[in-house]
Amino acid sequence: MDRRRFLKHSAAATALLGISPALQSMGASGKKLTILHTNDTHSYIDPFAMDHLRYAGKGGAARRAALVKKIRSQEKNVLLLDAGDIFQGTPYFNYYGGELDFKLMSMMKYDVATMGNHDFDNGLEGFYAQLPHASFDFVSANYDFKNTLLDGLVKPYKVLVKDGLRVGIFGLGVMLQGLVDKRHYGETVYLDPVEIATDIVRTLRESEKCDLVICLSHLGYKYDSDASKISDLKLAAATQGIDLIIGGHTHTFLERPTVVENAAGQKVIVNQAGCYGVNVGRIDFHFDTSGKTSVNGFTISV
């Protein structure tokens, strides 16, 4: 992204989030945390062909790796996260079963990912077989795996510490029944996302003393055709204590984050980076010495 476009996106996101311009000049007196995120990459390892109708010349794991490396060289504290559906979409998955995806993500040094519905496409056994190739952690709080071979391997949440900041990251997944063949998820039990999120956030805030709480969601951004269906926007409005929801599943392309008022009247940032690795989302949190926080968010085309 060139400098002019970067500034345009940053300014738009700052205005969107309603942040005081004074907080943007805190400089070295505070701390900055950069969140990079992907979703629904679907085994798109190569860039799209130059004659592709929609994504001509975009994407590719090598380009994403180069982008992440560049940002890490510029920023002190960076987290790289994924909101699920890593598997399924190209012959790379059909042949390697996810091995290549996990190896490449490990090389990029992803920190945490959650599971999407397509990550069950080779069954629990297929996902389990590829876990040794993943150097990062998987989190999912509303999939109860206790009677499956993933018990203890996919945890509800993960706490990471960056420059003294405690960051709690938990995962939520879409209902599998009717979407995934029962043979592929076996005895996995789907739990209510709002109830689980409420309990997990309380744990992260009170017991884990987290400064920032992030939800990696594969629920979907919103559903106009089904008002009763849980989505990221509904989750944000129904809960409190979540700072950022990084979404997936609906392949929603957002140029900048959406801001939702939660159950306590506080702002929650919701973002999603489309699909197939053609974008990387970026959210910058700035913490000043008084505890105030400002946020910039935008999308980077790969």
Which pLDDT score is estimated for 226?
84
Pairing, β 31-38 against β 78-82: parallel
pLDDT of residue 126: 98
Structure tokens belonging to residue 263: 């159950």
Judge whether 267 and 297 are in contact, CB under 8 Å.
no
> Residue 288 has what pLDDT?
81
> What is the pLDDT, as a whole number, of residue 10?
40
pLDDT of residue 272: 98
**29's tokens:** 């007196």
Spatial distance between the Cα atoms of 250 and 273, rounded to a whole number of angstroms? 10
Per DSSP bridges, beta strands 267-271 and 293-301 are unpaired
Average pLDDT along the chain, 302 residues, taken 10 residues at a time: 39 39 40 97 98 97 98 97 98 98 98 98 98 98 97 98 96 97 98 98 98 98 90 98 98 95 96 98 89 84 96
H or E element, residue 8: helix 3-16
Question: What's the pLDDT at 24?
Answer: 34
**Contact yes or no for 208/168 (Cβ under 8 A):** yes
pLDDT score, position 15:
35
In the chain, what are the domains?
30-99+110-271+283-301 (3.60.21.10)
